[in-house]
Amino acid sequence: MAYLKIDHVDKVFSRGNRETEVLKDIVLTVEKGEYVSIIGHSGCGKSTLLNIVAGLTPATQGGVLLEGREVNAPGPDRAVVFQNHSLLPWLSSYDNVKLGVDKVFGRTKSRAERHDWVMHNLDLVQMGHARDKRPSEISGGMKQRIGIARALAMEPKVLLLDEPFGALDALTRAHLQDSVMALHQKLGNTVLMITHDVDEAVLLSDRIVMMTNGPSARIGEVLDVPLPRPRKRLELAANATYLKCRQRVLEFLYERHRYVEAA
Amino acid sequence: MTIALQKSADAAATPVTASATIVPLSQPRASNVQTKLIPAAKEWAATLIPPIITVGALLLLWQILCMKPGATLPSPSRIWTDAKDLIVDPFFVAGPQDIGLGWRILTSLQRVAVGFGLASIVGVLLGALVGQSVWAMRGLDPIFQVLRTVPPLAWLPIALAAFRDSRPSAIFVIFITSIWPIIINTAVGIRNIPQDYRNVASVVQLNQLEFFWKIMIPSAAPYIFTGLRIGVGLSWLAIVAAEMLTGGVGIGFFIWDAWNSSRLSDIIIALIYIGIVGFVLDRMVAFIANIATRGTQAA
Ligand SMILES: Nc1ncnc2c1ncn2[C@@H]1O[C@H](COP(=O)(O)OP(=O)(O)O)[C@@H](O)[C@H]1O
Ligand SMILES: [Mg+2]
C-alpha cells in the first residue's frame, strides 16, 4: 500500500457562475522516504495540488490518503514550506519554530525537551545563531531555512515544499538545495516538492512528475531518476543518466507542452 | 612602498594591536563632544526655536488686538493677572469646588480611562468578529456605519434616561464615541491578515483562542492602534462636552461654570490645559503603538 496516495483528484474553482477546472483526474502515489518533485509551467495548478494534499484547499472530486487514511484538513503531519517563507514577522526565528513544536509536542515533551528540539532543528538548518533574529533582520535564504526548520520540527509524515527556492538567487538556491538533500539523506523524510527548475528537479528527486498545461492540467509523464545518493552537483554535471533525465524533462516542458502564453 | 603596504595589511589583519596603540590618544574624546553634542544641540534648537517664535508672535498679536478698551476677550496679560492661581499651581485645593485644574483634568481622565478602556476591549473583540466572519460583517457593518455618525452628545439624553445618573452616562458617551473607529479599524486589520498566516495557523492547528492571540492580534496590531489613536482623540473631545452637561468636578464642567460666572480668563486657561492633555494622550498611544508593533511589519 502506498504511503501517500492522491486518488483521482479534480479541482474546479467557481467564481460567481464561472467555473474553471484547474486539475483533472490526478493520480499519484508516493512511497515512504521518497523524494518526488512536481514540475510544470506557471499557473498549471501545482500549488493547488500541493494545497489539496496539505488540506488547505478541498478537492472537488477524489481525495488524499496518508497511510491508508483519508486526510481532508490541514495538520502538522503534512507540514508545508511555503514559497514566500510565511514566517510570522513579529516572532523571532526561535519562536516561529517553537509555535509548531509547542502545538505538536505540547503533551508529549517537557518544556526543556521542547526547547532542545527547537534548537536541534534550528541547528539542522544551520540557523542556531539566528535564533533571536526577527524575519525582517535575516536574508531570504535564511528565512527559507527557518521555514524548513519549522516544518521539520513538526516531524511531518510528508514534507510539502512549494517552490521553496523560487525566490532566491542562484548561489543561495544551490546552497539550500544541498542542505535539503543532506537533510533528506539524514532524516529520510517523505518529500513532495513543487518546482519549475529542471536542474533542481533532477538533482533532488527520486521521481519527477510532469504536469501538462492548464486548464484541466493532468499528469503528463512520470520520470524515474535512477541516480545513486548521495549526489554531488559537480559530478553530476557530466553524468549520462543525469543529462538524459534532464533532457526528458526539457523535452516535455518545451516541446510537447510548451507554455503557449510565453511563446 | 611595498613595505608600507605590507605593514598596513598586517595592521588590518591584527586589529587588536592596532587599536591598542590608538587607545591612549586623547583626540577621539575631544572630537566626541564635537561630533555628538553640538549636532544634538543644533537639532534641539531646530525643533524648539520655530514653535517658540510662532507662539511668541501669536501672543503678541493677541495682546495687541485685545488691549483696546472695547475688546470682548481678555488679553494674555489680563489672563495672567486674572487666573494666576490656575496657571502656577494645577494641584491646589481650596474648597470642594475650588480646586486646581490638574485635579479636574485627572477626574476627566479617570472617566476617559474607564470609557475608553471598555471601548478598547469591546471594540477589538467586535472588530475581530466582524473582520473574521462574513455573516457578522454583513449583519453588523451597516449598523456600525450608521451609528458611528451619531454625534457624541446625541447619546447623552438616552444614557441619562437609561442610567439615571450622570457619572455612568458620561462614561457611556465616551464609550460609544470611541468604539466605532476601534471596531472598524480592527475589522480591516483582521480582514487584511495575509492568507499565508492563516495557512500557517491551519497547518500548526492553532485553535480559535490561540489564533486570536498569536496571529490575529499581532497581525492586525498596526490597524488596531490606528483605531485606538482615533478613539482616544474622540474620547477626549466627548468628555469635555459631556461634562459640560452632566456637572461634577471634571474640566468640562469647569468651563461651563466659568462661562456662567463670566470668568473668561479661566476658560482660556482650561482650553490650553485640554489641548495639551489631548496632545499628550495622542502621543502616548502613538508611543505605545510604536513599541508594540515594532518589527511586526512584514519585511
Ligand atoms: N482561489 C482560487 N480561485 C480561483 N482560481 C484560482 C484560485 N487559486 C488558483 N486559481 C487558479 O488556478 C490556476 C492554478 O494556480 P496555481 O495552483 O497557483 O498554479 P501554479 O502553482 O502551478 O503556478 C491558476 O490559473 C489560478 O488562477
Ligand atoms: Mg505556485
How high is the pLDDT of residue B33? 67
Pick the ligand that lies closest to the CA of residue A46. 1
Q: B184 in a domain, yes or no?
A: yes
Confirm or reject contact between B204 and chain A (CB < 8 A).
yes
How high is the pLDDT of residue B17? 40
Using pLDDT thresholds of 50, 70 and 90, give the confidence band for residue A16.
confident
* Residue A214 pLDDT > 90: no
Number of domains forming the structure of chain B: 1
Q: B52 in a domain, yes or no?
A: no
How high is the pLDDT of residue B296? 60
Q: B260 in a domain, yes or no?
A: yes
C-alpha of residue B41 to centroid of ligand 2, in Å: 54
List all residues whose CB is within 6 A of at least one atom of ligand 1. Answer: A 13, 15, 22, 40, 42-48, 214
CA distance B284 to chain A (A): 22
Q: B15 in a domain, yes or no?
A: no
pLDDT in tens, A221-247: 999 999 999 999 999 989 999 999 999
Residues of B with Cβ-Cβ distance to A82 under 8 angstroms = 196, 199-200
Pick the ligand that lies closest to the CA of residue A14. 1
What is the atom index within ligand 1 of the atom nearest the CA of A162? Answer: 21
Determine the 3-state secondary structure of A115 from DSSP.
helix
- Which residues on adjacent β-strands are paired with residue A217? A23
pLDDT in tens, A75-106: 999 999 998 889 999 999 999 999 999 999 99
Confirm or reject contact between B144 and chain A (CB < 8 A).
no
How high is the pLDDT of residue B20? 42
Note down the domain range covering B268: 82-292
How high is the pLDDT of residue B94? 83
CA distance B117 to chain A (A): 25
**pLDDT tens-digit profile, chain B (299 residues):** 344 444 444 444 444 444 444 444 445 555 666 777 888 888 898 889 999 999 999 999 999 988 888 888 888 888 888 888 888 888 888 887 788 888 899 999 999 999 999 999 999 999 999 999 999 989 999 999 999 999 988 999 999 999 998 889 999 999 999 999 999 999 999 999 999 999 999 999 999 999 999 999 999 999 999 999 999 999 999 988 888 888 888 899 999 999 999 889 999 999 999 999 999 999 999 999 988 887 565 43
Nearest to B197 among A74, A86, A137 (CB): A86
Residues of B with Cβ-Cβ distance to A80 under 8 angstroms = 199, 203
**Which amino acid residue places its CA nearest to atom 20 of ligand 1?**
A43
Q: B147 in a domain, yes or no?
A: yes
Confirm or reject contact between B289 and chain A (CB < 8 A).
no
Confirm or reject contact between B208 and chain A (CB < 8 A).
no
Nearest to A84 among B196, B203, B297 (CB): B196
CA distance A201 to chain B (A): 25
How high is the pLDDT of residue A203? 95
CATH number of the domain encompassing residue B135: 1.10.3720.10
Q: What global pTM score does this model have?
A: 0.81
Q: B153 in a domain, yes or no?
A: yes
Identity of residue A126: Q
Q: Determine the distance from the C-alpha atom of residue B280 to the mean position of all C-alpha atoms in its chain, rounded to a whole number.
A: 5
Report CB contact under 8 Å: A56, B215.
no
Confirm or reject contact between A56 and chain B (CB < 8 A).
yes
Confirm or reject contact between A148 and chain B (CB < 8 A).
no
Q: Which residue of B has its CA nearest to A98?
A: B204
pLDDT in tens, A127-139: 999 999 999 999 9
Q: B259 in a domain, yes or no?
A: yes
Domains with residue ranges and CATH for chain A: 1-77+160-263 (3.40.50.300), 86-155 (no CATH)
Confirm or reject contact between B298 and chain A (CB < 8 A).
yes
pLDDT in tens, A166-202: 888 999 999 999 999 999 999 999 999 999 899 999 9
Q: Which residue of B has its CA nearest to A136?
A: B299
Confirm or reject contact between A107 and chain B (CB < 8 A).
no
CA distance A140 to chain B (A): 10
Q: How far is A147 from A159, CA to CA, in rounded Å?
A: 12
Kindly provide the b/e burial profile for residues B84-94, where b requires at least 16 CB atoms within 10 angstroms of the residue's own CB.
eebbeebeeee
Quick one: what percent of chain A has pLDDT higher than 70? 98
- Return the residue in B196, B203, B214, B223 with the most chain A beta carbons within 10 A, the one to mutate for interface testing: B203
Q: Which residue of B has its CA nearest to A99?
A: B204
CA distance A230 to chain B (A): 31
Pick the ligand that lies closest to the CA of residue A82. 2
- How many other CB atoms are there within 10 angstroms of residue A2's CB atom? 16
pLDDT in tens, A159-174: 999 999 988 899 999 9
- Using left for φ > 0, alpha for ψ between -120 and 50, and beta otherwise, residue B129 falls in alpha
How high is the pLDDT of residue B161? 93
- Which residues on adjacent β-strands are paired with residue B128? none
Q: B164 in a domain, yes or no?
A: yes
